[in-house]
Every structure is written in C-alpha cells, then in structure tokens.
Structure 1
C-alpha cells in the first residue's frame, strides 16, 4: 500500500537516516522523497510502500507525529521538477486555468476553512487562494509566487494585444438595464446576459454561449458589484466549478480586487465593493 506522508524532522545530521533505518526495520520501503528546507526544521514528504493492512495510525507511529498521512497512488511518484514544468506549460497554454492547475500542483484538498492552510498568490490585482490540510512550506510559497508572476505577465500581454471579435453578433453593443437586484444585457430586447445580486451578496452570473468572450460578463460583474454597494452590501461572492477558466480573466479585466479560492471541486470568488461607486438604479 502506498502512503504520501509529510513530517518535520530536526535540522541536524542523521535525522533522515534514523527515519530511513526505522522504515527498513519495519519492512517499509521509501519510494519517493522531497525535501523542503527550513531554518530550524526540515519538512520531508515521503512516499512509503507499507504492508497492505497498515493504517494511518501505524504510519504515524513509524514516522513520529507526521504533519499529514494519506493513501496515494503511483502518480505520487512522478518526478517533482517534471510536475512543475508540466504545470508551467499548462499555464502558458491557458493562463486562465491557473487556479485549477495550482490547486492540483500543490495537492490542495477540500475541507472546512478552519482545518485548512491557505496559500495566497497574486495574479495582477486578483488574489488566488489554494488550501489543504498540510501546511504549505516556504519553498512551495516561493514556487507558487513564481508561477503566479508568470501567469500575470502572460495575461497582461494578452490584454495588451486583443484579437478581433468575429463571433456571432459582432459589432452589436448590448444595452445594460437594471431592475431591482438584477442587471440584464439586452440585444434587440432579448437578454443575452444576466447578473443577480442576493441579499447575502451571492451573485449569479450567466452569459449566453454565443455572446461569451465579448466583455459582457466583465461588464455585468462590475455592474453587479456597484449594484451591491448601492444596496448596502460590502462584499459579493461568486461560486462556480473549479475548472471554470473564465473567472480569472473576467475579474482581472473588471479591474476589481478579488480573492479566488480553490477547495476541491469548488471555486469561490469574493470581491469587496465598499470602495466602488454605487450603481444608480
């Protein structure tokens, strides 16, 4: 049985050798090792092959109070530099996938917020957060920041060189109409986009497929944020699938300071609206 284990060892000669000896005596094989150096202690991530009937308690006894221990597959044995290169390639190909790719790269897990460690990464003015049970190391923070800077550069370059719009309805400018807690994007009287603001700040936003990638979602998001401010709401919240790659570029294009958080299959965006100009209804 394979286990992915993280543990903190004293930063002194022989600490890792003692752990390796204990594993050998217990008939446990160390198949993978990644070291995250620290000032007073070192965090080691190990992939262990144990007898099939071993439990988490037995792994913990062997390692000595691990930070985390969970069953894993052979995918955990993939070379770590290779994983980062693959992640960078995916982000260069599709910068909007950064939240999803970062969460997968750092093994982010779902769970209650108070049980998670959170790593915050800035992409332009947007804060992307990924969370998991095991604390992120300083090395992982540095790697995440470098990747976020890469994505920021790519998105800034893409925004500076927009491509011509050849989609259906090109050249038609929607009319934006506010009604109560709802903002509609209308073309010839038909709604092609809609944003609704609930009393708790939850925003529901949709744009018809034929009218996407034309800035309508961005405009609806800005108007929804301003509408929320005019209704006394201090923060709006959008919840969507973790693989929704439209969210990051939309928030960046809107010029809003948001926080995007990944947890499992869910992506949550929080945007403070107190400093925005209220939308006149």
Structure 2
C-alpha cells in the first residue's frame, strides 16, 4: 500500500462527495483523512489515502473523474500527512509562539507551499489569493507572498494563514514591549505585558479571588504590566482599565521593592500607553493615608470618600517621553 494525496473539486450538492468516495473505494482505496474546502466553484475535497501499490497516478485521476471530480491534483504523500489538519495547525501555532521569526517556514509547512517571500512594503492591493499566489499583510509592517504552483489555494487555507500571521505579530509585539529596568541599587527587573499564565505568580502578591485576578491580568480594553525579578518572581503589577477615553489605574508593588523607583517607572509606561491610545486622563483610587502612593502618582486629588482619594492624571503629549528613566520616587 502507498500513501497519496488527492484534491479535487465536486459540485456542492448532496451526495456528490459519496459518489467520489465510492469511485475510490472500487479501486480498493482506503481514505485516511478528508478535508472539505468551500469555494465559489464548488467543494474542494482534499483526501489522504492509502492505495494499493499497483495503482498509478493515472489510475487515481481516472477514479476521480468517474466519481464526478474535476481539476484533480494527485501526488505521493509522506507519513507526516497522517496528522489531521487541525492538529497540524495547532502544532505550527505552538512553534510560532516560541519562535515568531520562524513564521515563513511555518507557512510553508501549513500550506505545503513552494516558497514564502517577505517584502518591506504592504501587499499590492488588498490581502488575498489566487490559484498560485497568496498575499498576507504583516501586522508589524510589510507583507508575505506565498507561492504554490498546485493545487490552487482555497479560502479556508487563506484564513488559516492569516490567523498564523496574526499570532506571530501578537507574539512579536509582546516581545518588543518587554524591557529591562535597572534600579538604582543595581538590580534588574523585567517589565512585560501580563498573560493568563501569570495567575499563580500574582496570587500571593494580591490576595484576590482568581476571578478578579483574571480580570486584572486582562483588563477590558486596557493593558496590564508585570515586573519580575531574576528569579522570575512577580514583584509588581500595573493595570489600566479603559472606559471611554479615561483609563482607571491599579498599581501594586511588593513591600520589599518599594521606594526604588519601580512604581514611578510602571506609571510612566501606562501613561505612555494611554497617550498612544488617545486617552485624555488616567484615574487612580488610593487610600488617603497611602502617602507614598499619592506622592508617586502626583496629579490632581479630589474628595475623599470612606478614606479613599481619586487622583486624576492628565496625559499630555510631553509626558509620553522619558518613561524609561529611573526616578527616585516612592512606590
């Protein structure tokens, strides 16, 4: 027995797929996997089959034709083709998550492409595809061109490729947003966007129920930053929840890391984020007796209610630079 891949178009009508599979069965072909791609020209059926050694490519093309298939693409397949397409796509997504720079090779594997080219300019016209070319916009700038002589690209393949490119862009942005903070003491902290995987690490710091911690790590419409030490222990969090054009700030620094400029640095990062996203102000709710935090925030304070003070920070353009400097402020 030998592994083959067959792709053919059939009319998207009830029973037509069964006619094609019956024609293959008459030649003792065992269908191991099948995908159906919906296109304007009909349903494109993609089979991975195990066929008797005596069958040739011409025999398989003839079986497809008798099964009302057209535009047949027939080629020998490798054992790795036994993996179903969703599992294959998930494995490639995991590879890209660990190495976004390997996106080109992942696209080749995902699409069985002949070549992938990256260009610094956006794709000509809108992203899309024809039979042999696929054009994808790179979220970080530029574009990808994917080439495959045969078989023709399908809409579902284009959707998968776009999702993989978007994932790579998200991972790369998160990597670019990670910075190393050198404190006046000489110790270094890594400041990066939070993720759902940080839940266990921030539980002890905040002492909040998990439901609230999840909302803290992924604030609606906003951003959450964490600072971790050399032992990958999270020692501070800073989050911004957006409502309209105002961001609500939450800042917590572990007691052993206060008065080192960390709170001021995180505040600067959030104000810069607020400026990039066209917010007009940042608001924090602080205990009226938390002198260190009030000094770190600065801003305009308004009336206390049950021992709480509202601190409003403007986001002027001139406050969006220099946030990487280490300042000797409390926090």
Question: Into which bin does the TM-score normalised by the smaller protein fall?
Answer: 0.5 to 0.7
How far apart are residue 80 of structure 1 and its match? 1.3
Alpha-carbon distance, 1:55 to partner: 1.7
Q: Is the 8 A contact 1:32 1:46 kept in 2?
A: yes
| 3-state SS, counterpart of residue 4 of structure 2 | strand
What is the CA-CA distance between 1:68 and the residue it aligns to? 1.4
- Is 1:73 aligned to 2:78, yes or no? yes
> 1 CA distance for matches of 2:173 and 2:42?
39
- The answer to whether structure 1 residue 102 and structure 2 residue 103 are counterparts is no
Aligned length: 161
Look up the match of 1:117.
132
In structure 2, what is the Cα distance between the partners aligned to 1:63 and 1:94?
40
Residues 126-165 of structure 1 aligned to structure 2 (within 5 Å): 126-132=142-148, 133-162=150-179
Give the match for residue 62 of structure 2. Answer: 61
Q: Deviations over 1:208-254 (max 9, x none)?
A: xxxxxxxxxxxxxxxxxxxxxxxxxxxxxxxxxxxxxxxxxxxxxxx
Larger radius of gyration: 2
Report the Cα distance in structure 2 between the residues aligned to 1:15 and 1:137, rounded to whole angstroms.
19
Q: 8 Å contact 1:5–1:66 — kept in the other structure?
A: no
Q: Distance in 2 between matches of 1:90 and 1:83?
A: 11
TM-score normalized with structure 1 length: 0.53
Quick one: structure 1 residues 163 and 94, their matched pair in 2 at CA, closer, same or farther if it must change by over 3 Å? Answer: farther
Structure with more relative contact order (C-alpha pairs < 8 Å, separation 6 or more) = 1
**Root-mean-square deviation (Å):** 2.2
Moved more, 60-69 or 81-90: 60-69
Give how far 1:66 is off: 4.0
Distance change >3 Å, CA 162–CA 126, structure 1 → 2: farther
Deviations 1:150-202 (A, max 9, x none): 111111222222559xxxxxxxxxxxxxxxxxxxxxxxxxxxxxxxxxxxxxx
Q: TM-score, normalised by structure 2?
A: 0.46
Distance of 2:161 and 2:180 partners within structure 1? 29
